[in-house]
Amino acid sequence: MPKPCIWICVADGTRARFFHCDGPGRDIVPALNYMLAAPSRAHNISMTADRPGRTFDSAGAGRHAYDEGDWQDEEKGRFAGRVAAQLDRAALDHQFERLVVVAPPAMMGELRKHFTGIRHRMEVVEVVKDLTHATPREMQSHLSEALRH
C-alpha cells in the first residue's frame, strides 16, 4: 500500500488529531492515532498548591506571596512539543511527503516554536483555524486550498 502523500495535524491546546490525504480533491481519512494532553484540561487551581508560595523580600524582614505562573499555558507548551516531536519522527521515517498543520492562533504559535527540525525537511502549510471538532468532510472545504499547495 503506498504511503499517503499529505498528513494533516489538527490540534488545539488539549488534543491533536492526525489525518492523511492522497492529494487535492481526495478524501481526508482519519489516522488511528491521536494525542491528548489531559493535565491541561484541569483547572489551573487543581494543578497547583492550595495557596501561593511565600518568599522573603530582598531587603528587610517582609514576606510576600509570589505568582507561580499559569500551569495550563506551560502544559500546552509541553503538549505542543510532544505533537511536534511526533510529526518530526514521522517525517524522518518518510511517512508523508507534505504536512498541513491546523490550529487556533495560540496553539499555532506554540507549535511554531517546536517545528525547527521538520521545517528543514519539508514545507509545512499552516492553517490558523480551530477545526479540532470538525469531521473529515467538514475539513475538506476548509482545507481545499492548503491541500493544493
Q: Is residue 98 part of a domain?
A: yes
Residue 102 pairs in a beta bridge with 10, 127
Assess contact for 45 and 52: CB atoms under 8 A: no
C-alpha cell at 19: 489525518
Q: Is residue 118 part of a domain?
A: yes
- Total of domains in the chain: 1
Q: How far is CA 106 from CA 76, 102, 103, 128, in A?
A: 9, 12, 8, 9
DSSP-assigned states of every residue in 79-127:
HHHHHHHHHHHHHHTT--SEEEEEE-HHHHHHHHHH-HHHHHHS-EEEE
How do 98-103 and 124-128 pair as beta strands? parallel
Spell out the per-residue pLDDT of the chain, length 149, in tens.
455 589 999 999 899 999 999 888 889 999 868 888 865 445 555 555 556 665 566 666 666 565 555 677 888 899 999 999 999 999 999 899 999 999 999 999 999 999 888 887 888 999 999 999 999 999 998 998 898 87
Q: Is residue 27 part of a domain?
A: yes
Assess contact for 107 and 15: CB atoms under 8 A: no
Domain residue limits at 86:
6-47+68-148
Give me the pLDDT at residue 119, please: 80
Domain of residue 143, CATH code: 3.30.420.60
Radius of gyration of the chain (CA): 19
Q: What is the pTM of this model?
A: 0.76
Q: Is residue 122 part of a domain?
A: yes
Q: Is residue 56 part of a domain?
A: no
Q: Is residue 62 part of a domain?
A: no
Q: Is residue 15 part of a domain?
A: yes
